[in-house]
Structure 1
Amino acid sequence: MKKYAVIVAGGSGLRMGAALPKQFLPLRGKPVLWHSLNTFLQAWPDLEIILVVPTDHLPAGRDIVNTTSDPARIRITVGGETRFHSVKNGLHLISEPGIVFVHDAVRCLITTHLIHRCYEQALEKGNAIPAIQPIDTLRIETPDGSQLIDRQKVRIIQTPQTFYSDIIKKAFEQPYDASFTDEASVVEKMGVVIQLIEGEATNIKITRPLDLLLAEKILEQRML
Structure 2
Amino acid sequence: MSDDPLPPPPTPAPGRPTVRTAAVIPAAGRGVRLGPGAPKALRALGGTPMLVHAVRAMADSRAVSLVVVVAPPDGAGEVRSLLDTHALHGGPPSGSRGSTDVLVVPGGESRQESVKLGLDALPPGYDIVLVHDAARPLVPVDTVDAVVEAVRDGAPAVVPALPLADTVKQVEPAAAPGGPEPVVATPDRSVLRAVQTPQGFDRATLVRAHETVTDDVTDDASMVERLGLTVVTVPGHEEAFKVTRPLDLVLAEAVLARRRLNDGF
Q: State percent identity of aligned pairs.
A: 33
1:174 corresponds to: 212
Residue 96 of structure 1 is matched in structure 2 by 125
Is 1:65 aligned to residue 72 of structure 2? Answer: no
1:134 equivalent to 2:164? Answer yes
Conservation of the 8 A alpha-carbon contact between 2:156 and 2:229: no
Runs of 4+ residues over 6 Å off in structure 1: none
> Aligned ranges for residues 27-176 of structure 1 at < 5 Å?
27-44=45-62, 47-66=65-84, 67-69=86-88, 70=97, 73-94=101-122, 95-124=124-153, 125-142=155-172, 145-146=182-183, 147-176=185-214
1:5 counterpart SS class: strand
Say which structure is richer in helix: 1
Distance 2:63 2:22 in 1: 12
Structure 1 residue 46, shift from structure 2 partner: 5.7
Q: Which has the higher strand share?
A: 1
User: Residue 138 of structure 1: SS of its match in structure 2?
Assistant: coil
The 1-side partners of 2:225 and 2:64 are apart by 29
Matching of residue 197 in structure 1 with residue 234 in structure 2:
yes
Measured at CA, do residues 46 and 213 of structure 1 come closer, stay the same or move farther in structure 2, by a change above 3 Å? closer
Shift of 1:60: 2.3
Please tell me whether Structure 1 or Structure 2 has the larger radius of gyration of its CA atoms. Answer: 2
Give per-residue Cα distances to partners, 1:124-164, cap 9 Å, x unaligned.
12221111111111111148931222111111111101011
Q: Secondary structure at the match of 1:215?
A: helix
Gaps of 5+ in 2: 1-18, 89-96, 174-180
For the 8 Å contact 1:97–1:166, the answer to whether it is kept is no
Hey, what's the Cα distance between the residues in 2 that align with 1:194 and 1:9? 24
Counterpart residue type for residue 133 of structure 2: D
Cα distance change of structure 1 residues 175 and 149 upon mapping to structure 2, 3 Å threshold: closer
Deviation track 1:76-134 (CA, whole Å, cap 9, x = no partner) reads 11111211111000000122241110000110001111010001111112221111111
Would you say how many aligned residue pairs link Structure 1 and Structure 2?
223
Q: Is the 8 A contact 1:37 1:68 kept in 2?
A: no
Q: Compute the TM-score of the two structures, normalised by the length of structure 1.
A: 0.94
**Cα displacement (A) at 1:22:** 1.1
Q: Does the CA-based 8 Å contact 2:23-2:64 persist in structure 1?
A: no
SS in 2 for 1:129: strand
Root mean square deviation, CA, Å:
1.7
